[in-house]
Amino acid sequence: MSTPGETGTEAWPLWEVFVRANRGLSHVHVGSLHAPDADMAVRNARDLYTRRNEGVSIWVVPADAVTTSDPDAKGAFFESPAGKNYRHAVYYTKSEGVKHL
């Protein structure tokens, strides 16, 4: 299932934009835009999403190239981790109070 938005009927395709706000941080999705190709998409993204020093790096991805999980299957798809409490540090109460653990 692709990301919503691309209609396939417009002159310029839709691109999803991700911006890295600072070195050391991940690229974060900020929105989308239209551009004829990747070169222009990254430039349009610079003009549109970083007018106020919001970023040091930009990714653009064709919207129809993004695959998303199915939200209707949300329960089933994301159920498994629940209950596996042993993956969390707070599960281990006996070591509480011991330093550097």
Partner 1 sequence: MTAPAELSVASIDEHRDDEAQARFDDLIAKDSRIEPRDWMPDAYRKTLIRQISQHAHSEIIGMQPESNWISRAPSLKRKAILMAKVQDEAGHGLYLYSAAQTLGIGREEMMQQLIEGRARYSSIFNYTTPTWADMGAIGWLVDGAAICNQVPLCRASYGPYGRAMVRICKEESFHQRQGFEILLELMQGTDEQKRMAQDAVDRWYWPSLMMFGPPDDESPNSAQSMAWNIKRFSNDELRQRFVGMLVPQAEVLGVTLPDPNLTWNEERQAYDMSEIDWDEFHEVLAGRGPANAERLRRRREAHEDGAWVREAAAEYARKQAAKAATAA
Partner 2 sequence: MSGDLDPHGDVTVDRVALAEELAGEAAGAGHAASADVAAYALGLGDDSLVLAQRLGDWITRAPELEEDVALGNIALDLLGHARSLLHYAGTHDGRSEDDLAYFRDEPDFRNAWLFEQPNGDFAHTIARQLVASTYLVELYRHLEASTDATLAAIAAKASKEVDYHRDHAIQWTLRLAGGTDESRRRMVRAVEQTWPYVEELFRDDAVVVRLADEGVVPLPSSLRDAFDSVIDQVFAEADLARPEGRTAFVVDGRGREGRHTEHLGPLLAEMQVLARAHPGASW
CB of 77 to partner 1, least distance (A): 12
d(CA 53, CA 72) in angstroms, rounded, equals: 38
CB-based contacts of 51: which residues, under 8 Å, 6+ apart? none
Phi-psi map region of 83: left, alpha, beta (phi>0 left; psi -120 to 50 alpha): left
Q: Does 51 bind partner 1 (CB under 8 A)?
A: yes
From 3, 27, 34, 59, residue interacting with partner 2 (rule: CB under 8 A): 34
- Show the site string, 36-75: x = touches partner 2 by CB under 8 A, - = not: x--xx--xx--xx--xxx----------------------
d(CA 63, CA 77) in angstroms, rounded, equals: 23
Q: Which residues bind partner 1 (CB under 8 A)?
A: 1, 3-5, 7, 9-12, 14, 30-34, 36-37, 40, 48, 51-52, 68, 70-72
